[in-house]
Amino acid sequence: MKKQPFRHLFACSIAIVLCLGTALAQNVTGSITGQVTDPTGALVTGARVTATNVATGVKTSSKTNAAGVYTIRYLPIGTYTIEVDAEGFAASQATPFALDIDQTAKVNVQLQLATTATTMQVTEEVHPILDTTDATLGNTLTTNEIQNIPLNGRNFSSLTLFQPGAIDTDPTGMTGNNAIERNTYNSGIAAINGNREQENNYTIEGADDNEPQNNLIGYNPAPDAIAELRVVSANADASYGNANGGQVVTILKSGTNNFHGSAYDLLEDSIFDANSWGNGLAYCADCNPPTPASPITKYTQNIFGGTLGGPIVKNKFFFFVDYEGIRYHKAQPLEETSVLTPAMLKGDFSALTAA
């Protein structure tokens, strides 16, 4: 046996987020809209509506129009509260609610009249939001769900199998070595709604993540760095395109007002793992003489890394970094190779015809 040269592969991404209310791509942000009324149901115009990101403290404001409607667009995914202020009314605040990728949350607010020289705060409870105006079919996995799903091989592409209509014709491909750095074969990609694996479209933070030669995945982010993953399987809106299969939208984590992070280490080794099914095909108890199964291939694969995020300037400037390192080596049988003898190098090939 001989060992292959030691290989060191690593992936590292750095995200520094400056939250100034800038507009991001539509398919990686969310929106909040609704109508503001008074106690009688009459429309309230010119009311200031402020959406606050609970994790970062970043505020984004808008005002109601003549129809009492407000809209706040291009909000990063996360948990938000809504506060409404209008002259002559008590300030009203909605309880925190989650805003997902490409979601339009509808939050209506009814204001109460303010008492003399006092301002009363009314808390509105926001129930799970059902968007009846969007025909898009898809499934969204949040940070908590991603952290609690076991991913053998740490292949983020395995998360797409939780989408109805997604299948994998080669289950070992979803968890194999092709998850290192990037997918190099379609066995590591799910087929959605009967389409070929190459028909999917992958994006990270709105940027293209497709490997152009075979239209596979260009880069595999570490699952610990993913904040949310959405698979749109049908009726995608105009902000998506370039695919007949699934639209796989990945959003990375960002910094918050609190320091947070993680550390992990996944070790796969021939000492701990069972032999493969393929090696067992050689076993034949009825043969004469019996042939034993092929021994397990000697290998070691270690995937380790960590994440760290936090504030640089509270409520304004944040950072998030992640690192993933990979150590992989395996052994393989020695190969016999024929080379020219000294006589052959001089033009004497008589040894080939010798009895």
Per-residue pLDDT tens over the stretch 282-291? 667 677 777 7
**H or E stretch covering 71:** strand 69-76
DSSP state of 284: B
Q: Sign (positive/negative) of CA torsion 212, 181, 204, 233? A: positive
The per-residue pLDDT for 197 is 82
**Displacement of CA 1 from its chain's centroid (Å):** 39
Strand ranges (E), 86-142: 92-94, 97-99, 104-106, 109-110, 122-124, 137-142
pLDDT of 129 strictly over 70: no
Q: How sure is the predictor about 134, in pLDDT bands with cuts at 50, 70 and 90?
A: confident
**Displacement of CA 161 from its chain's centroid (Å):** 13
β-strands 48-53, 29-37 pairing: unpaired
The per-residue pLDDT for 86 is 92
Euclidean distance between CA atoms 209 and 169, whole angstroms: 22
State phi, psi for 338 to the nearest 5 degrees: -90, 135
pLDDT digit string (tens) for 216-245? Answer: 888 889 999 999 999 988 887 777 766 788
pLDDT of 113 strictly over 90: no
Work out the average pLDDT over 3-13: 40
For the chain, give the longest Cα–Cα distance: 117
The per-residue pLDDT for 102 is 85
Euclidean distance between CA atoms 239 and 199, whole angstroms: 17
pLDDT digit string (tens) for 289-340? Answer: 777 777 777 888 888 999 999 999 999 999 999 999 888 887 765 555 677 8
DSSP letters along 178-236, please? Answer: GGSSS--SGGGS-EETT--GGG-EEEETTEE-EETTTTEES----GGGEEEEEEEEES-
Percent of the chain residues past pLDDT 90, beyond the cut: 30
**What is this structure's pTM?**
0.75
The per-residue pLDDT for 213 is 79
Work out the average pLDDT over 243-262: 91
The per-residue pLDDT for 335 is 57
- Higher local confidence (pLDDT), 200 or 129: 200
